[in-house]
Amino acid sequence: MILNQHPSGRHFLQIPGPSPVPDRILRAISLPTIDHRGPEFGVLGLKLLAGLQQVFQTRHPVIIYPASGTGAWEAALVNTLSAGDAVLMFETGHFASLWQKLALRLGLQPEFIGDSGLDASGIPLSWRRGVQADQIEARLRADSAHRIKAVCVVHNETSTGVTSDIAAVRRAIDAAGHPALLMVDTISGLARADYRHDDWGVDVTVSGSQKGLMLPPGISFNAVSPKALEAAKTATLPRAFWAWDEILAMNQTGYWPYTPSTNLLYGLAEALDMLLTQGLPQVFARHQRWAEGVRCAVRAWGLQIQCADAAVYSPVLTGVVLPAGIDADRVRKTIHERFDLSLGTGLGRVRGRMFRIGHLGDCNDLTLLAALAGCEMGLQLSGVPLAGSGVQAAMAHFASHPAAATIPV
Amino acid sequence: MILNQHPSGRHFLQIPGPSPVPDRILRAISLPTIDHRGPEFGVLGLKLLAGLQQVFQTRHPVIIYPASGTGAWEAALVNTLSAGDAVLMFETGHFASLWQKLALRLGLQPEFIGDSGLDASGIPLSWRRGVQADQIEARLRADSAHRIKAVCVVHNETSTGVTSDIAAVRRAIDAAGHPALLMVDTISGLARADYRHDDWGVDVTVSGSQKGLMLPPGISFNAVSPKALEAAKTATLPRAFWAWDEILAMNQTGYWPYTPSTNLLYGLAEALDMLLTQGLPQVFARHQRWAEGVRCAVRAWGLQIQCADAAVYSPVLTGVVLPAGIDADRVRKTIHERFDLSLGTGLGRVRGRMFRIGHLGDCNDLTLLAALAGCEMGLQLSGVPLAGSGVQAAMAHFASHPAAATIPV
Amino acid sequence: MILNQHPSGRHFLQIPGPSPVPDRILRAISLPTIDHRGPEFGVLGLKLLAGLQQVFQTRHPVIIYPASGTGAWEAALVNTLSAGDAVLMFETGHFASLWQKLALRLGLQPEFIGDSGLDASGIPLSWRRGVQADQIEARLRADSAHRIKAVCVVHNETSTGVTSDIAAVRRAIDAAGHPALLMVDTISGLARADYRHDDWGVDVTVSGSQKGLMLPPGISFNAVSPKALEAAKTATLPRAFWAWDEILAMNQTGYWPYTPSTNLLYGLAEALDMLLTQGLPQVFARHQRWAEGVRCAVRAWGLQIQCADAAVYSPVLTGVVLPAGIDADRVRKTIHERFDLSLGTGLGRVRGRMFRIGHLGDCNDLTLLAALAGCEMGLQLSGVPLAGSGVQAAMAHFASHPAAATIPV
Amino acid sequence: MILNQHPSGRHFLQIPGPSPVPDRILRAISLPTIDHRGPEFGVLGLKLLAGLQQVFQTRHPVIIYPASGTGAWEAALVNTLSAGDAVLMFETGHFASLWQKLALRLGLQPEFIGDSGLDASGIPLSWRRGVQADQIEARLRADSAHRIKAVCVVHNETSTGVTSDIAAVRRAIDAAGHPALLMVDTISGLARADYRHDDWGVDVTVSGSQKGLMLPPGISFNAVSPKALEAAKTATLPRAFWAWDEILAMNQTGYWPYTPSTNLLYGLAEALDMLLTQGLPQVFARHQRWAEGVRCAVRAWGLQIQCADAAVYSPVLTGVVLPAGIDADRVRKTIHERFDLSLGTGLGRVRGRMFRIGHLGDCNDLTLLAALAGCEMGLQLSGVPLAGSGVQAAMAHFASHPAAATIPV
């Protein structure tokens, strides 16, 4: 029985996704599965699609896939591009790299830019700052033949804790007078960090369920602009499961061309109800406050926050760089075994150098303090010299910065 | 609140999938989401993969996708084929047609064979019988250049209630001495109808969660033979999300290259435990008995069973053909509104001519009798002349044919 | 693991309580337990107490006990009576007998009246009709010394399927000019059969959670009139746990003097929301319609309905008397083993002579038809000669008597 | 909808009961209610009764009441005593006082002993130490007429955090050669603090579900010695619902004379499985470790632990005495509003002087550290001068005292 795997007490899931799922949502996804062709389903479907538009801040369609987030990346590319198309991608971290790798596999020609240098800690400079819009603008200006068909960037880099300025990317593209589509991955940013599909002129936004939406993994999204829909008409990469056209046609009445992920959609209905009842601005503010509390802790420990630019700190996770010579994964293992706390590992080019603390999903001040306590004890047990108590610093922050009054959700 | 959609009493979900999900599984999928990179997850992953091999009756790998069944069709094709490849498909019904359409979208050249004629009721002959292996053999023999790279058939046609003889298809291919891969969709057959990936020489088996496995929709499967894996090495259709290679590599330790559908996997663990504790032969026998009870009812009503060949009656659903002039969907609507019972609609070429009764998933004698009672009342209310009481016939069958003693699951 | 006890498919729980609990309520009771002294709890408590008043149709207080229904019987007596007090009770069936036995144990002097004779089937006449108000009136008139302190009757006799006319009992007491308190057990009637605590002049109404309120067993109720509260001031039976005074004082702010049954109260909140959203008259009508369908079946079988007076048929259960020589419990055992259907046993003086079909809690037409099918098959397998098909008769009834349109709950 | 009451993130329920309920148990109690007279139920009943004997460490019967803990107190008294009987009770705190009050209401003559003085903080001395066995011995020796029929003590005083030495009380009674029954309330101690019904010669042990057994409130227990059963034969207090005789008779086959609390019993089955799989000694050690961690925090704050005798520190809760002039309930209110943490209030004679931290039920190191962080911030925000950081002290304790390796439950 799978249930037996869980040790005494509640596990602290402080990875940057999947995030802790609220009880309300867990109960909702356990309701009996209904007929995805029946009349109740259409009502549900229309409600979900309308609610998602509010969360993506768009008047344009949002597609829901019964597939995890990686599939939504693939969907964005295969619906809009053709074999051999050049795409400009910016190396913000591991997930940007994975998206580039996926583009390669699909037969596209990704061009991957960023800062190639390393900082004093041996960490790629690109992995500590967000997208540099000026580099994008320069590259697009140089592409006078308009070979580049899309600019693909990650909004909230889950591997680093950096949230790029997407509006600036849009301005860069416009300044260059370039027709490339703008595609943005906000898998871990949506619904916790302010994200504006329409205002920022994004053509395809990619997201998933298991982060800010507080759902288990399993469904993912494409928000699509009219320009992206237009591009889909001539794009020739083969596509069937991911094809927008059939889904959009069926979505008119709240249905899908193939079987949707019914029970996760129940959870989505709950999540939308919770989010929209409270209000997105309130949710965003809540995570900004928590993020600053966590950063207070990291500073007090005398450790480095991976994000080197305060303007682009992520509200949903914080990367903690460990001193050279310390294996961050051994620290994580100690913390997991001793304190039943899961932290995010260092991915790709920062493997072993850092760990990540998630502060998204369903949490509160005490949950985060518990997580910081687990980190602090684990760092000490691992022999990492600390300048002071991060827990104390975070407590001081939370105590002196009360949360705005909120409608309970 | 989504919960409010459910009317008084329990809905009777007798469509041929999604099937009724047992309470044990619904509770399991509502457990807290855990870290898909943590140590507990690997243990779970290995257990699931081993259990699935038993269900597919294979010693070869089974891939789990965090995507619904249509995705697993796409995966089977893009992993093994190249643009322009010819594939031979047999028109057993709507889902065979959809697979063919999907192949077309992916740039393959499906050749779709079957009986083109209509029977006296105006229903395609191909939709009332299973795959005709001799037609496949003949076609393959004619393909001396071996342009055909794969033979794709549906094991249990969810749109008709016909379960084809896959072993015969294998024999046909072998008799023709043809190297084509054999790909089989058993989305609705797996775990309820006997299915033998290895014994029957299937190269790629496609299946899903929401039918015989008694789970909500959202995960799907490819069981792959060594020959299929070999073909994947040279196949050139673009693929990333669906690519077997990375998944198989990660599966060695029980993990996945991208986020799996954690909570549905909890449900899969329960489902495997239930199925394997009871034993597949016992489960298969149970559904054969129920299917015969339902057919007794249809015969008593004086209506036609869509499957015209008793050798290939489906154990998991029964198609009921209505007299000419009766709109089957109006009958279904009456039944749904009056008796809170969902039946499957007639799909594609039989739209409006028939409805489908599911007898898969979590059910029992009384549930089926309730469903038959709903059908009988709805048929009468719709003015369909009935020869007798199907409910009485099914009761007589169930009463006189006790189920074999089983370990309760 | 307790879960493993449940066999394949959903059990049909057609006993007259505990009744089938809706999924909404099962999910609600699985929410995390909260502090019963915290601020949220008081809000919940006040809401529950107000909602219960609507269900009991009273402006006076309703007490909630964290105890099952038998405890609420005891509470009614110990709060209002003193050792040696005479109480007049009417033998409507087994539960009336149990209440009398409980009164004896508490040191009261119950006088138990009713028809002492047997009918042709050997069943006590009292067990086939409701309370005979004229007998009560006669007895009270004879009690000129007013030794009788309370008249205790059962509203809906769960052991027989007879729903007595409580208003008539009130009129009888008044006609006799007798000051006795009127105490009524409507454990199985409340929220499914019309029940009016105030209009009918009831002093103490006793009820429980596991019948019409669609909850699991574990909480129970006393609705108390001002006259009952007055009696409590001088009553001397020892009481502590059951004492109204402390509970009523704490209930002013929504709390209890000792720990309430928090999670069942969550379920009660759901149940009240479901009931009051739909409206009690709609709920009552629903069960009247179902009850008549079940009675149609019994008549078609050629068996006797235990309730011999159509004016007092119970809307929530039907007693079915079997021919002499048939052991009703063997029939029930066959039905349970073969069809996973639970029926109520014959209790007390009708043990082995009859069984009971519950039609309360969360059900619908098809559930009841399934239950009737199970009965019909089981009766036939047990060699009980049947005049015709009860299932067909009930189908005819349900098909020709559509339910009134209702707000789905 | 009750669900909407829960604010963002998981509430921290650190009151000394109801304790946090594990997800496994919450899921179990949400399973469909079954027939309490059916064959599956008897199997469950026998399993529960056997499991409880292990938890109470007794070979004698354990009674399960479908009622909360206060009812089990009443049951212990009414089954064994007669009106006017003298009982000796020891004032260990609020719950001892409530039991005394309950005895008074039932017509018994409780004699309430203890230290009448106050300590320097104005707190009753009796509320800071456990039962003083020598006082009991002296009183019993003086009772040469054996008017005292029972000695009633509280094992783990939930209002103070003191766990009395029950074996010493037994020795005192024996030393006095007195025949009084020994009755012990271990509502909050059972299953977390070592408790030995047989070895300690207890006659009636009273307990409940919502503390160490990790269940919601609603069921409670009496473990009864042969001597207690003998006493029940001549005891004359009126009793019906609480009467042992009928329950014990029915329990022989796993059933109850009236409706048991089915869904809470599902939870009990899970709880027993969890406890007995891990082993009681492991569970006891776990809570001793946590308790010491919490006490380290209180000492670091420079506040007083209410329990003044280290030999009887409670493993399941710690009372924290605040400096004179501080309203402890205002501190609690601040903590609740700011940090969504529930603490226990000061009850009865210590109202406003202290609060209580629960460390029972389903918890772990980080949960407790979170609770301590909430306390520390709330104390500071309330202007309570602290000598140092309790969180740091507890972290130091937990980090330097690893838990013994345990089978995960």
Rounded Cα distance between D282 and D273, Å, is 14
Minimal-distance CA residue of chain D relative to A374: D366
Please state, rounded to an integer, the average pLDDT across all residues of chain D.
Answer: 95
Query: A192 and A163 in contact (C-beta within 8 Å)?
Result: no
Q: Taking the mean position of all CA atoms in its chain, how far away is CA C231? A: 25
Give the per-residue pLDDT at D7. Answer: 66
- Name the helix (H) or strand (E) containing B81: none
Query: What's the ipTM?
Result: 0.97
Q: What residues in B contact D32, CB-CB < 8 Å?
A: 23
If 0-12 CB within 10 Å is exposed, 13-18 middle and 19+ buried, where does residue D176 land? buried
Q: What angle, 0 to 180 degrees and rounded to 10, lies between the N-to-C axes of helices C365-381 and B328-339?
A: 90
**Could you tell me the CA-to-CA distances from B211 to A42, B137, B204, B341, B358 in Å, in that order?**
21, 31, 19, 17, 10
User: Which chains are within 8 Å of D by 3+ CB pairs?
Assistant: A, B, C
Q: What's the pLDDT band for C406 if we cut at 50, 70, 90? A: very low
- Among the partner-chain residues C68, C243, C273, the one whose CB lies closest to the CB of D66 is C68
- Among the partner-chain residues C35, C66, C238, the one whose CB lies closest to the CB of D13 is C35
Provide the β-strand partners of residue C224.
Answer: C204
Please judge whether D4 and A339 are an interchain contact, meaning their C-beta atoms are less than 8 angstroms apart.
no
Please state, rounded to an integer, the average pLDDT across all residues of chain A.
Answer: 95
- Among the partner-chain residues D7, D27, D367, the one whose CB lies closest to the CB of A370 is D367
Give the per-residue pLDDT at B116. Answer: 80
**Could you tell me the CA-to-CA distances from D103 to A248, C233, D75, D81 in Å, in that order?**
71, 19, 11, 10
DSSP letters, B298-327, are: HHHHTPEES---GGGB-SSEEEEEPPTT--
Give the residue from D225, D208, D223, D224 showing the smallest Cα distance to D271: D208
Q: What residues in C contact D13, CB-CB < 8 Å?
A: 32-35
Please judge whether C3 and B24 are an interchain contact, meaning their C-beta atoms are less than 8 angstroms apart.
yes
Give the per-residue pLDDT at D115. Answer: 85
Q: What residues in B contact A68, CB-CB < 8 Å?
A: 66-67, 258-261
First-to-last CA distance in chain B?
Answer: 32
Minimal-distance CA residue of chain A relative to C31: A23
Please judge whether C27 and A23 are an interchain contact, meaning their C-beta atoms are less than 8 angstroms apart.
no
**Could you tell me the CA-to-CA distances from B114 to B90, B140, B148, C255 in Å, in that order?**
6, 14, 16, 72
Rounded Cα distance between B377 and B358, Å, is 18
What is the DSSP code (8-state) at residue C29?
A: H
Give the residue from D334, D356, D392 showing the smallest Cα distance to A395: D392
Interchain CB contact of B196 with A (< 8 Å): no
Window B:320-379, CB contacts with C under 8 Å:
338-341, 362-367, 369-371, 373-374, 376-377
**Region C108-112 average pLDDT:** 98
Minimal-distance CA residue of chain A relative to B73: A241
Q: Strands, DSSP E only, in B126-267? A: 148-154, 156-157, 162-163, 181-185, 204-208, 220-224
Interface mutation vs chain A, best among C3, C10, C27, C30, most A CBs within 10 Å: C27
| Residue pLDDT, tens place only, A212-231 | 999 999 999 999 999 999 99
Judge whether residue D277 has pLDDT over 60.
yes
Task: State the nearest Cα–Cα gap between A63 and chain B, in angstroms.
Answer: 14
Tracing tokens 């632990």 back to the chain, one arrives at D305
Judge whether residue A1 has pLDDT over 80.
no
Please judge whether A31 and C27 are an interchain contact, meaning their C-beta atoms are less than 8 angstroms apart.
yes
Task: State the nearest Cα–Cα gap between B261 and chain A, in angstroms.
Answer: 5
Please judge whether C1 and D273 are an interchain contact, meaning their C-beta atoms are less than 8 angstroms apart.
yes
Give the per-residue pLDDT at B4. Answer: 43
**Region D52-73 average pLDDT:** 98
Window B:22-61, CB contacts with A under 8 Å:
26-40, 43-44
Q: What residues in D contact B32, CB-CB < 8 Å?
A: 23
Please judge whether A27 and C30 are an interchain contact, meaning their C-beta atoms are less than 8 angstroms apart.
yes
Judge whether residue C2 has pLDDT over 50.
no
Please judge whether A27 and C23 are an interchain contact, meaning their C-beta atoms are less than 8 angstroms apart.
no
Q: What angle, 0 to 180 degrees and rounded to 10, lies between the N-to-C axes of helices A365-381 and D328-339?
A: 90
Interface mutation vs chain C, best among D258, D274, D345, D409, most C CBs within 10 Å: D258
**Region D376-390 average pLDDT:** 98
Q: What's the pLDDT band for D409 if we cut at 50, 70, 90? A: very low
Q: What residues in D contact C105, CB-CB < 8 Å?
A: 238-240, 243
Rounded Cα distance between B383 and B48, Å, is 49
Give the per-residue pLDDT at C368. Answer: 98
Query: How is residue A24 written in tokens?
Result: 């309300």
Give the per-residue pLDDT at A404. Answer: 77
Q: What residues in C contact A23, CB-CB < 8 Å?
A: 31-32
Task: State the nearest Cα–Cα gap between D328 and chain A, in angstroms.
Answer: 18
Please state, rounded to an integer, the average pLDDT across all residues of chain C.
Answer: 95
Per DSSP, the three-state class of D322 is coil
DSSP letters, A155-205, are: SEETTTTEE--HHHHHHHHHHTT---EEEEE-TTTTTTS---TTTTT-SEE
Window C:266-295, CB contacts with B under 8 Å:
278, 286
- Name the helix (H) or strand (E) containing B16: none
| Residue pLDDT, tens place only, C171-196 | 999 999 999 999 999 999 999 999 99
Provide the β-strand partners of residue D321.
Answer: D304, D354
| Residue pLDDT, tens place only, A321-380 | 999 999 999 999 999 999 999 999 999 999 999 999 999 989 999 999 999 999 999 999
Please judge whether B7 and C363 are an interchain contact, meaning their C-beta atoms are less than 8 angstroms apart.
no
Q: What's the pLDDT band for A115 if we cut at 50, 70, 90? A: confident
Q: Provide the percentage of residues in chain D whose pLDDT is more than 90.
A: 95
Please judge whether C23 and A1 are an interchain contact, meaning their C-beta atoms are less than 8 angstroms apart.
no
| Residue pLDDT, tens place only, D110-168 | 999 998 899 988 899 999 999 999 999 999 999 999 999 999 999 999 999 999 999 99
Q: What's the pLDDT band for A13 if we cut at 50, 70, 90? A: very high
Please judge whether C30 and A31 are an interchain contact, meaning their C-beta atoms are less than 8 angstroms apart.
no
First-to-last CA distance in chain D?
Answer: 32
Task: State the nearest Cα–Cα gap between C235 and chain D, in angstroms.
Answer: 12
Window C:221-250, CB contacts with B under 8 Å:
none
Q: Positive or negative CA dihedral for D344, D348, D349, D351? A: positive
Query: D145 and D108 in contact (C-beta within 8 Å)?
Result: no
Q: What's the pLDDT band for C4 if we cut at 50, 70, 90? A: very low
Rounded Cα distance between D276 and C325, Å, is 49
If 0-12 CB within 10 Å is exposed, 13-18 middle and 19+ buried, where does residue D80 land? buried
| Residue pLDDT, tens place only, A28-42 | 999 999 999 999 999
